[in-house]
Amino acid sequence: MACKRKSFKVDGPLHLTRVDWSNSSHRSSVAACLVEGVYSREEERQQCCHGGDSGGALASSAWWESFGFQLNQVLIDDKDKSIFGAVYELKLWSQAQAQAQAQVEVGKPQPPKLVIAFRGTLIEKRSWLQDFRLDRHIVQNTLHNSNRFLDGL
């Protein structure tokens, strides 16, 4: 089964070799890539668990590793076992490094230490029912009662 998700090597912002955290377009591109990483991980999970070939290293990792992040935690729905989010950490972040850089570049936005990314609704065999149930929570303004909200919190 071929991957339906986007490939970082084809669709990723390859021109963005160095992130300027003061540039809102750069921040938006990185955020979009981290979310795409969640979508890709869920697709890889579905393919691997249901007859697909994972092919060794996960292709989804390019969506976060390209910007110096590592995957710290995968958020998994208890009901359908789908991946709905991820916690990323900047690899080389340290308090001393951040303080030193902040002193040099006062007022310039610093890279985030942690990023929590959530995917949206997927219309895939293994996750659509739970995703639509959660969409109903949004419409009814009861998302705070959902298991994904509590896990994300």
* Residue 123, token pair as written in the block: 């219309």
Predicted structure pTM score = 0.78
**Whole-number average pLDDT of the chain:** 81
Choose between 59 and 102: higher pLDDT. Answer: 59
Give the domain extent around 111: 8-120
Residue pair 62/3 in contact by the 8 Å Cβ criterion: no
Average pLDDT over residues 22-36: 93
Please tell me whether residue 139 adopts helix, strand or coil conformation: helix
Q: How many CA atoms are closer than 13 Å to the CA of 138, on its beta-carbon side?
A: 9
Domain-embedded: residue 151:
no
Total number of domains constituting the chain: 1
Per-residue confidence band for 96, with pLDDT thresholds at 50, 70 and 90: very low
Is 133 contained in some domain?
A: no
